[in-house]
Amino acid sequence: MIQDSLGPNRFSRKPDRLSRPKRLALVVASAAAGLVVVGGVAYAGSSTTNARVVVHAGDTLWGIAASHYPGSNIEQSISQIESANHLSGASIRPGETLTLPAP
């Protein structure tokens, strides 16, 4: 009988295991890719998300709109805040939480 030089189990090799440095590199690369994806979603989504503000004594919609939407039309900003919070006017109360639409 002729025996193959590779032995009887030449087709039943165990899968190669990654060395410790290769595993570490794979983990680091995966983590970096994950951060890029999460960072991209966070920055891309930040301009479309709504912020919230708690009304303090003396706050007005005009003041809130002016401080959160600098350089924009204040009347339009107030209207958007009223609409987002289902307000029937400019009356707000301390302790109330308002949703501020994305600019």
Handedness of CA 102, 47, 51, 74 (dihedral sign): negative
94 and 73 housed in the same domain: yes
pTM to 2 decimal places: 0.53
* Domain with 25 in it: 19-49
* pLDDT surpassing 70 at residue 46: no
Question: 3-class SS at 101?
Answer: coil
pLDDT band at 77 (very low <50, low <70, confident <90, very high): very high
35 and 45 housed in the same domain: yes
* pLDDT surpassing 80 at residue 11: no
Residues 79 and 65: their CA atoms lie apart, in Å, by 10
For the stretch 14-31, pLDDT in tens is 666 777 777 777 777 777
Rg (CA), the chain: 30
Half-sphere exposure of 29 (CA within 13 A, CB side): 6
For the stretch 65-75, pLDDT in tens is 999 999 999 99
Overall number of domains in the chain = 2
